[in-house]
Structure 1
Amino acid sequence: MAASDLDQQGLLQSGGIDNSSNDNDEDENDPSAMSLIDHLEELRWRIFKCLIAVAVGVVIAFIFRDWLIHILDAPLPLSANSIGGKEGHKLVMTGLGEAFTVSIKLSIVFGLVFALPVILYQLWAFIAPGLYDKEKKHAVPFIGLGLILFVIGVTLGYFILQFPVSFLINFGADNFTELISANSYFSFVSFFLLIFGAVFELPLVLTFLALIGIVTEGFLKSKRAMAHVGLWAAATVITPGGDLYSPIFIGVALSVLYEFSILLIHFTVKKDPAEEIA
């Protein structure tokens, strides 16, 4: 009897070992159970794909550089680069290769813009294995919304670009004759437009933080007043130039985007059962 009991116990233990090995095999085949090295390898390839997309975008932007330059220098007032009472406006070069350098800089900036759909997709594809199936369905809306928000931000920035440019040009007009170089102007414009585009990605950033459990809808609601004050303070700091209009536009945009983020998280992020009970 004792021997048979030991045999049965051994069979049960071997069965338990076999079951655990099957579980391990299933875990290893599960995409969400990747090792750290596998995650780093996947991240490397996704960054590589993003760089390829940026390179293609840079080439496209360089081909259409004249058209981009014509659009971006439109907000420049006619009083710019005026000498001897004559109307100016045309930008100047202060170095032998400045025209080429400016073209490369603009191409890189707009290459990033053109590659934004690929970048957003690769970002989502990298974090998707750790999400629920219900949350994975938001991939296409995530990418589409990111593009729409970025375009809205850049468009808004372009239309109010004239205010900081005019302020900075006319600020020292009584004491100085300012000759605006192409490098300084387009660096300013690129920085200004990218700020607006990046600011309008705030809902996606907060939604991503909610998906990985760092913030919640309730937390954002409880910190609403403090957040709005901080966003308006940030609007006055990150805005280049000293005009009154740009910080107001950015401040209003940030407040609207913050409230939109709460609404977006409400409909896309699965709530924790404890939070639903509360």
Structure 2
Amino acid sequence: MSLGEHFREFRRRALVAVLAIIAGAFLGWMLFDPIKWNLFGQRIDNQGIFNWLKEPLTQVASTRRHPEDVNLNFGGKGVTSAFEIKLKIALWVGLIVSSPVWLWQIWGFLAPGLTKREKRISRLFLAAAVPLFVAGCWVATLVLPNAVRFLIGVTPDDAVNYQDGSAYITFVTRFILVFGIAFLLPVFLVGLNAVGVLPAHVMIKGWRVAVLLIFVFAAVMSPSPDAWSMLALALPMVALFYLAVGIGAILDKRRGKKRPEWLDVSDGDASAL
């Protein structure tokens, strides 16, 4: 392709990715409030994405003497605050729901410059990245109530705690996204190993540094200061790191069987060839 053709290809794929995010955001906009569905004669009550994200705060409020003293305030940024919160949640849903599409578009743009083997590896990358990202988001939903309970629980019983709605939604959505992105660690490690950049023996040799960096990353990226949230993020990442090392060792072993012995001889020694 010429440079102009590359730009047109990039524009086309970027447009597809943006449209997918917008479509997902439309779904998030529709599911923002509670909806009652009748599906094949069965009634399904959807509590709404906003109520689902607010649930940890609602649980904390229910444990207090006056539950109404803990709630969200929508007036922090004027009359546009409620609209901003709904738009922010819709775009967040769109980004998560459309992740297979925009990941595929990124791969499709890079694929013409890859070899057959690299294309096969990149397909495996996509197949593993989406489930791991979703798993990380799911783990975040399990940890989130404890984080909110710790942060809000220090409020005195005779005081009110009205959280700014926009700030709370930013905290919750970022909390979930950080866990999802962190769970992509083994995908990148295995990918680097598959292309021959990061052998398994190098990863296992630096396991102390890797574990330390994981805990530092968890401490910095965890939006709440409690140790439980940090451990909930760091421990799965450590387990995924060792999983990546194991997969890398298997790939190295299979790669070694296909590699001619004379390639591993140093420059100063004579080879069998």
TM-score by length of 2: 0.77
Displacement of 1:259 in angstroms is 1.7
Q: 3-state SS of the aligned residue for 1:91?
A: strand
Contact 1:80 1:169 in 2 (8 A): no
The CA distance in 1 between the partners of 2:245 and 2:109, in whole Å, is 24
Contact 2:53 2:172 in 1 (8 A): yes
Residue equivalent to 1:62: 29
Equivalent residue for 2:205, pick from 212, 216, 222: 222
Contact 1:220 1:262 in 2 (8 A): yes
Contact 1:57 1:110 in 2 (8 A): yes
1:93 aligns with 2:56: no
Aligned CA distance change for structure 1 residues 133 and 59 (closer, same or farther; 3 Å):
same
1:76 aligns with 2:50: no
Aligned CA distance change for structure 1 residues 249 and 176 (closer, same or farther; 3 Å):
same
The CA distance in 1 between the partners of 2:128 and 2:247, in whole Å, is 11
Residue equivalent to 2:15: 48
The CA distance in 2 between the partners of 1:43 and 1:266, in whole Å, is 36
Displacement of 1:223 in angstroms is 1.8
Residue equivalent to 1:110: 93
The CA distance in 1 between the partners of 2:209 and 2:6, in whole Å, is 36
1:263 aligns with 2:243: no
Aligned CA distance change for structure 1 residues 82 and 96 (closer, same or farther; 3 Å):
farther
How many pairs are equivalent? Answer: 244
Identity, % of aligned positions: 27
Displacement of 1:162 in angstroms is 1.0
Contact 2:71 2:161 in 1 (8 A): no
The CA distance in 2 between the partners of 1:212 and 1:38, in whole Å, is 28
TM-score by length of 1: 0.76
Aligned CA distance change for structure 1 residues 232 and 119 (closer, same or farther; 3 Å):
same
Map Cα deviations across residues 75-109 of structure 1 (whole Å, 9 max, x no partner): 224444999x4212542311322221101000111
Q: 3-state SS of the aligned residue for 2:79?
A: coil
**Structure 2, gaps ≥5 residues long:** 34-47, 266-273
The CA distance in 2 between the partners of 1:264 and 1:49, in whole Å, is 33
From the two aligned structures, give the one with the greater strand fraction. 2
Residue equivalent to 1:156: 139
Q: 3-state SS of the aligned residue for 2:100?
A: helix
The CA distance in 2 between the partners of 1:59 and 1:105, in whole Å, is 12
Q: 3-state SS of the aligned residue for 2:153?
A: helix
Displacement of 1:65 in angstroms is 1.0
Letter of the aligned partner of 1:46 in structure 2? R
Root-mean-square deviation (CA, aligned residues, Å) is: 3.0
1:252 aligns with 2:219: no
1:124 aligns with 2:107: yes
Contact 2:32 2:50 in 1 (8 A): yes
Larger radius of gyration: 1
The CA distance in 1 between the partners of 2:74 and 2:131, in whole Å, is 35
Q: 3-state SS of the aligned residue for 1:47?
A: helix
The CA distance in 1 between the partners of 2:194 and 2:170, in whole Å, is 35
Residue equivalent to 2:150: 167
The CA distance in 2 between the partners of 1:44 and 1:274, in whole Å, is 44
Q: 3-state SS of the aligned residue for 1:179?
A: strand
**Structure 1, gaps ≥5 residues long:** 1-33
Displacement of 1:238 in angstroms is 1.0
Letter of the aligned partner of 2:231 in structure 1? I
Q: 3-state SS of the aligned residue for 1:256?
A: helix
1:241 aligns with 2:224: yes
Letter of the aligned partner of 1:87 in structure 2? P
Residue equivalent to 1:8: none
Q: 3-state SS of the aligned residue for 1:258?
A: helix
Letter of the aligned partner of 2:72 in structure 1? L
Map Cα deviations across residues 221-259 of structure 1 (whole Å, 9 max, x no partner): 322221111111211111111212111111101111212
The CA distance in 1 between the partners of 2:251 and 2:99, in whole Å, is 22
